[in-house]
Structure 1
Amino acid sequence: MPRIPGQIDVAKTEAILDAAIEVIGQRGLSAPMEAIARHAGVSKQTVYNHYGCKAELVRALMARRVELITAPLRMPGAEENPQAALEAYARSILETVNGASSYSVMRVVIQGAGEMPEVAHEVFEAGPRHARRQLAAFLETETRLGRLQVEDFDQAAEFFSGMVLGHAQLRALLCLPADKTQAQFDDLAREAAKRFLKAYGP
């Protein structure tokens, strides 16, 4: 069947992004696109057809991660049960931070930020800032529905994310092992959601 013009080849896209995580995580931001293409089993031109430059590729990595992290905020019934949605979102953040290779790209971006500021900017915009905006939008919806009383949505989103991440993010960036069990992380997510709603409840 002929390919529809403009249609995205999902399989190749995922292969390229998975390869980028591995290659950039091991070799840093200076890793050539050719190495990423070889690891993905595609041509270098295919990588450039999908992503015109390294900054766009890293931005796509962050965007994919944010979609996974923020998925609990878009699940059916999330608006009706903000505590469950926020708890699931918190668990999603912690799972990402404590994943074996989840923070490898973030670490190398920080290391190379001075030499490649455009990539660092793309990572921040597509990663942390975009995630905060989605959480802020969720809080705005909950406030409009009368389930929360939030005046500054961005600030509240920042507060909640800070409550959840704590030292876990710093330990991950420093390649230190997690200092909590999975059960303790689940408790942290539950407690953060409960205390946040107590502070911002109607």
Structure 2
Amino acid sequence: MPRVAGQIDHKKREAILDAALALFSERGVTVSMEEIARRAGVSKQTLYNRFASKVELARALAGRRADDITAPLRTDGAPVAILTALALTLLEKLLRTDRGEGLRGVALMSPAAPEIALAIYDGGPRESLRRLSEWLVLQDRKGVLTIPDPDSAAEMFTGMVLGHSHLRAMLGVPHPPIALEARAAEAARRFVTAFAP
């Protein structure tokens, strides 16, 4: 069945993003848009219709990751449960899913492609912090938590969760054994206790 004009083919979009992620991981930013289109099984025109540049592709990849990480914020429940789920997602993405390859890749290509590094930061980590900050504002309005500076609190929470894990991952240094579930729960509990009304 043909698509309606203007309708987005989500399968093609995901295929493009998957191909870009794989090729960026394999070869960095030197990969061409033509190679990304070929790996995704789409025409160059289809690729450019969706993403005009590698900067846009990088921002979309980071946004997809931010959507995954912040999914717990779109659920109902007690703040400690939601923050535990968010913390666990952060830790799993970093330590189980890609084991820091993404961070190392961004760090290595940042000097050569600062515009792509900025797009990744804006679309991913900064967007995740913004969403957490908005969620904290809602908790403050409900009287469940008292958050005088939601932006700082959002950064504080992610720092509590990650500790030096992101630095180890970026540098390729082995991680000490971490009980991810216990660490996520403890960070959430301590945060909620610190900002209790």
Q: TM-score range by the shorter chain?
A: over 0.9
Correspondence list, 1:36-185, <5 A: 36-75=36-75, 77-78=76-77, 81-101=78-98, 103-181=100-178, 184-185=179-180
Worse-matched range after superposition: 85-94 or 115-124: 115-124
Worse-matched range after superposition: 143-152 or 111-120: 111-120
Answering whether residue 196 of structure 2 is matched by residue 201 of structure 1, we say yes
Give the SS at the match of 1:194: helix
1:64 partner amino acid:
R
1:76-113 deviation per Cα after TM superposition (whole angstroms, max 9, x unaligned): x23xx100000000000001111343643432222121
Tell me the TM-score normalised to structure 1 length.
Answer: 0.92
Q: In the superposition, relative to structure 1, how do residues 102 and 65 fare at CA in structure 2: closer, same or farther (>3 Å)?
A: farther
Gaps of 5+ in 1: none
Tell me how far apart the structure 1 counterparts of residues 15 and 94 of structure 2 sit (CA, whole Å): 22
- 1:141 deviation in Å? 0.4
Q: In the superposition, relative to structure 1, how do residues 166 and 18 fare at CA in structure 2: closer, same or farther (>3 Å)?
A: same
Give the SS at the match of 1:99: helix
- 1:120 deviation in Å? 1.2
- 1:143 deviation in Å? 0.5
Tell me how far apart the structure 1 counterparts of residues 138 and 157 of structure 2 sit (CA, whole Å): 16
- 1:67 deviation in Å? 0.2
Identity of aligned residues (%): 46
Give the corresponding residue for 1:186: 181
- 1:46 deviation in Å? 1.6
Gaps of 5+ in 2: none
CA RMSD in angstroms comes to 1.4
Give the corresponding residue for 2:9: 9
Aligned length: 197
Worse-matched range after superposition: 13-22 or 83-92: 13-22
Q: In the superposition, relative to structure 1, how do residues 136 and 36 fare at CA in structure 2: closer, same or farther (>3 Å)?
A: same
Tell me how far apart the structure 1 counterparts of residues 9 and 122 of structure 2 sit (CA, whole Å): 25
Work out whether residues 107 and 170 of structure 2, in 8 Å CA contact, stay in contact via their aligned partners in 1. Answer: no
